[in-house]
A and B are shown apart, each in its own frame.
Chain A
Amino acid sequence: MQRWLVASTVTLSAIVLLPLAVVASSVLSIDVDLWEHLFSTVFSDYVSNSLLLALGVGLGTIVIGSSLAYLMVNFDFVGKSILSWLILLPLAMPAYIIAYTYTGLLDFAGPVQILLRETFGWSRGDYWFWDIRSLSGAIIMMVLVLYPYVYILARTAFAEQSYSYQKVSELAGYTRWQHALKVSLPLARPAIITGATLAMMEALADYGTVAYFGISTFTTGIFRTWFGMGNIQGAAQLSTVLCMFVLVLLVLEKHSRRDASKFQSREHAGAQRQRLKGPVAMGVFLLCLLPAVFGFIIPFLQLLSWSVQYASVGDLSDFLGLVKNSFLLAFAGALIIVALALLVSYAKRITGKRSLKYSEQMLSLGYAVPGIVIAVGVLIVTGWADKAFNRFTLEWFDYRPGLILSGTIATLIFAYAIRFASVALQNTETGFARLPQKLDYAALSLHGGLFRMFRKIHLPLLSASVISALLLVFVDILKELPATLVLRPFNFNTLAVRAYELASDERLLDAALPAISIVIVGLLPVIFLTRQLNKSSV
């Protein structure tokens, strides 16, 4: 039983990780022509744009996320409990959706510029207006939805700082701001950097926003190399370069997490909050409100108004088809991925085998790999498997079944498993970690059988972790764009794909309904998260 458990888990993990190995191995056969072409044309753009994007997003999220966290932890003011809900809402807003919403708002034909022209009597060419379809635009859009990554970690880090630290500074005669600079911030630094690396990984992985804005980055480059030039090996090699950048971030993230655990104080008596009153309190409230206003409220209202306009003229049956497709896909994907995560965590717990620990660690890195890279890997693997299978059947049965794997839902879920197994694993791992080992000894001594123990003991106790894993994976799949775009079956559309396509065709109004559906479903885990965070730290 144990051996079976180990073997199947390791095999499954290996299969899931195969596409990444294939992408990595592509560097062994460098396509010289392609690289000469790339170097002489767009490669430097890819590098500089991707790096600037990541750095800009990192910096922006650090500034917004950590100052919000500092204010929320250290001060009390009217409206704070509302803020603790509003601040996280942008998490529900995928970057490509906020990008196209603001484009609609700020374009030449958008309400803002129309208003300016009408007020000042300008016409085209009379004035300069910031072009949102630019690198700075992409950075701002991503900062607006990614700052919660830093905020969440920084807030916990600030809240966990011992009450006594503040008193030590008071005794030494430092002001609150000196204390913040000398003690609070340095102590929260690892957490802030961890959050920023996560945001930067998202920025590097983003395809929808940069493609919509027409910015040449690695992700759009990979897409172009495969789709435009039909060069899948070249796409894989570009993917490897992108993965190097991600790897740097990943190392930084792991390192910061280690630092953060070192900086944890033993007593978690939260800081003493200063009560703000009057205009100062009002000012702080408004300041903290800004990110949520721009990151969620404005784009959400815009989407809402577009959706209402569309609902009166558009075709709803088309939309319902999208909803059905997306939900079924996301649900099936979530079930399979959470089952995989449970299997891995359970096998690791029962046997404690090192091979399983490695499997778990490798699978947990999936979140760092950009969706487009996973898509390329999966394409290569499934294409290869299809070819091999057809060759086999042709030889033995004189029959060619055609493509069995490529372009199927199964392939798509396979790709999701690589990207989102980490999300599910995080939940199952912490869930299992909370159950004491003694429980297993008791269960096994009373009534042996690993499967029975899992079904009767672990699964019921883990129900909360399993539900939260299902929910998170479900929403992540629903929002996922690049891998779905590349791997989906012919004529199979999801909310995310359709919203992106319609927006790319400048049919913003038509794109609103699928877009807002994604946002609304995306709110569920945000509500979950806010409740958890409020319980733990404020």
Chain B
Amino acid sequence: MLRLQNIELAYGETSVLNDINLSLNKGEIGCILGPSGCGKTTLLQAIAGFHRQQSGDIYLDDICVASGTVNFSPDQREVGVVFQDFALFPHMTVLENVEYGLHRLSKQTRRKTALENIDRVGLAEFAQAYPNQLSGGQQQRVAIARSVAPNPRLLLLDEPFSSLDPELREKVAVEVRDIIKRLGITALLVTHDQQEAFAFADKIGIFAQGHCQQWASPYDLYHEPNTPFVANFIGESTFISGEVVTDPEYASRYYVNSQLGRFALPLEQNYTEGQKLSVLVRPDDITHQDDSPLKALVVDRRFRGAHILYRLALPNFSEQVLCLAPSHHDHHIGESFGIRLSIEHVICFDAQ
């Protein structure tokens, strides 16, 4: 449905996007997640047609809408955009706002389509209201009705929840997701908020410094991060150092030796013996067990209601890991803490 190939974009000398490749299937919701300044909004604007990429192709429904030779104008691309500030026209009613994008239709169809779309977001009774009479969440839904009314091929959402109160954000995000899924619209969301991305998206692209680090499902991002950046960015993580070794009994297999023991490395990758690695350890990779022979020292603790997140120093004190333990296992700083490993498959990166 949406396919980006080798997108490069720069403002003058400063490169903003480098070699971006990603694709979305029909009805899927994608998300571009990254810290501010990573180029995510620029990518959205390139897809919408507000910026022209220097090279690379953008396909919508297998039609090339932007490449070296083709450049569709924003309205020819048939995308809808929900803006960060919603950009509802304050001098128009909800109905007039939604009708604004339907000016090519005849008058009756225009009204009918607009009313249908207002109804679909559950605001039928507010059709004659002005935006400033609506709550933030309602304005958000008007913005969505306005952008989906022309029946776009793709809906782009630019930080659509950031102007809402934090308490509202997740609730509205779920509501909006339901609306989009119900309408069967393909959508791409841009955000810097992980919770929002996880609540919203089928596929997430992690952006940093103009590169797409990984384009995958939320599950894969957490459990199989491609780069240390992704591992750090998604969820809490620590790294411990390790060294590649071989086992004479299994010649084809490589292992990594670390303070926490030896783990088998994935078969599909190439290693050399003695290579230094960083081993990713998630808080849920470490299970607390009072009678475990493997002991660590509690360095810090964060109470989180149902759980306590412990920061633990490993026996040689030079490395630390995190452990999420049930709340009733109450240990104090300086206490000894029994741990057990439950790493199902190990994630390693080259040591830096």
Q: Report B169 CB to chain A, min CB distance, Å.
A: 16
> Are B84 and A172 interface neighbours, CB within 8 A?
no
A183 within 8 A of B: yes
B90 within 8 A of A: yes
Instruction: List residues of chain A with CB within 8 A of the CB of B50.
Output: 167, 170
- Give per-residue flags for B32-55: 1 if the beta carbon is below 8 A from chain A beta carbons, else 0: 000000000000000011100000
> Are A164 and B75 interface neighbours, CB within 8 A?
no
CB < 8 Å A-B pair total: 69
> Are A187 and B89 interface neighbours, CB within 8 A?
yes
Instruction: List residues of chain A with CB within 8 A of the CB of B91.
Output: 186-187, 189, 263
> Are B83 and A168 interface neighbours, CB within 8 A?
yes
- Give per-residue flags for A50-78: 1 if the beta carbon is below 8 A from chain B beta carbons, else 0: 00000000000000000000000000000
> Are B85 and A162 interface neighbours, CB within 8 A?
yes
> Are A266 and B85 interface neighbours, CB within 8 A?
yes
Q: Report B157 CB to chain A, min CB distance, Å.
A: 12
> Are A167 and B81 interface neighbours, CB within 8 A?
yes
In the assembly, what is the distance between CA of A165 and CA of B150, in Å?
Answer: 17
> Are B79 and A171 interface neighbours, CB within 8 A?
yes
> Are B74 and A170 interface neighbours, CB within 8 A?
yes
> Are B83 and A171 interface neighbours, CB within 8 A?
no
Contact (A262, B132) CB under 8 Å given A171-B48, A172-B150, A173-B75: yes
Within 8 A of B (CB), among A445-459: none
In the assembly, what is the distance between CA of A162 and CA of B131, in Å?
Answer: 15
Instruction: List residues of chain B with CB within 8 A of the CB of A186.
Output: 91
Contact (A167, B83) CB under 8 Å given A262-B132, A265-B90: yes
B101 within 8 A of A: yes
A267 within 8 A of B: yes
Within 8 A of A (CB), among B83-133: 83-87, 89-91, 100-101, 103-104, 132
Instruction: List residues of chain A with CB within 8 A of the CB of B84.
Output: 164, 267
Tell me which of B73, B87, B132 contacts A168 (CB under 8 A).
Answer: B87
Instruction: List residues of chain B with CB within 8 A of the CB of A167.
Output: 48, 50, 74, 81, 83, 87
Within 8 A of B (CB), among A234-284: 262-263, 265-267, 269
B242 within 8 A of A: no
Best-surrounded residue of B79, B84, B147, B150 (most CB of chain A within 10 A) = B84
> Are A263 and B48 interface neighbours, CB within 8 A?
no
Quick one: closest A residue to B79, CB to CB?
A171
Q: Report B272 CB to chain A, min CB distance, Å.
A: 52
> Are B100 and A172 interface neighbours, CB within 8 A?
yes
In the assembly, what is the distance between CA of A186 and CA of B90, in Å?
Answer: 10
> Are A266 and B80 interface neighbours, CB within 8 A?
no
Within 8 A of A (CB), among B128-161: 132, 146-147, 150
> Are B101 and A172 interface neighbours, CB within 8 A?
yes
Best-surrounded residue of B75, B91, B150 (most CB of chain A within 10 A) = B91
In the assembly, what is the distance between CA of A168 and CA of B83, in Å?
Answer: 9
Best-surrounded residue of A173, A186, A189 (most CB of chain B within 10 A) = A173
> Are B80 and A263 interface neighbours, CB within 8 A?
no
In the assembly, what is the distance between CA of A336 and CA of B182, in Å?
Answer: 69
Contact (A164, B83) CB under 8 Å given A171-B48, A171-B101: yes
Within 8 A of B (CB), among A327-351: none
Instruction: List residues of chain A with CB within 8 A of the CB of B275.
Output: none
In the assembly, what is the distance between CA of A167 and CA of B79, in Å?
Answer: 12
Q: Report A357 CB to chain B, min CB distance, Å.
A: 25
- Give per-residue flags for B329-350: 1 if the beta carbon is below 8 A from chain A beta carbons, else 0: 0000000000000000000000
Q: Report B58 CB to chain A, min CB distance, Å.
A: 15
B292 within 8 A of A: no
In the assembly, what is the distance between CA of A498 and CA of B100, in Å?
Answer: 58
Q: Report B285 CB to chain A, min CB distance, Å.
A: 42
Instruction: List residues of chain A with CB within 8 A of the CB of B76.
Output: 173
Quick one: closest B residue to A272, CB to CB?
B50
Tell me which of A162, A171, A265 contacts B80 (CB under 8 A).
Answer: A171
> Are A171 and B75 interface neighbours, CB within 8 A?
yes
Within 8 A of B (CB), among A148-176: 162, 164-165, 167-174
> Are B89 and A173 interface neighbours, CB within 8 A?
no
Quick one: closest A residue to B81, CB to CB?
A171
Instruction: List residues of chain B with CB within 8 A of the CB of A263.
Output: 90-91
B195 within 8 A of A: no
> Are B163 and A266 interface neighbours, CB within 8 A?
yes
Tell me which of A168, A187, A269 contacts B100 (CB under 8 A).
Answer: A168
Contact (A171, B89) CB under 8 Å given A262-B132, A266-B163: no
Quick one: closest A residue to B156, CB to CB?
A171
Instruction: List residues of chain B with CB within 8 A of the CB of A162.
Output: 83, 85, 87
Quick one: closest A residue to B77, CB to CB?
A171
Within 8 A of B (CB), among A283-332: none
> Are A173 and B104 interface neighbours, CB within 8 A?
yes
List, sorted by A's number, 17 A–B pairs whose CB atoms are closer than 8 Å: A162-B85, A162-B87, A167-B74, A168-B83, A168-B100, A170-B49, A170-B74, A171-B81, A172-B100, A173-B74, A186-B91, A187-B90, A265-B85, A265-B87, A265-B90, A266-B85, A267-B163
A residues near B (Cβ < 8 Å) are 162, 164-165, 167-174, 182-183, 186-187, 189, 262-263, 265-267, 269
B residues near A (Cβ < 8 Å) are 48-50, 73-76, 79-81, 83-87, 89-91, 100-101, 103-104, 132, 146-147, 150, 163
Beyond A165-B89, A171-B80, A266-B85: 6 further Cβ-contacts under 8 Å? A162-B85, A164-B83, A168-B81, A168-B89, A173-B74, A187-B89
Q: Which 8 pairs of residues, A with B, have the shortest CB-CB distance?
A: A173-B75, A164-B87, A164-B83, A267-B85, A172-B101, A170-B74, A186-B91, A263-B90
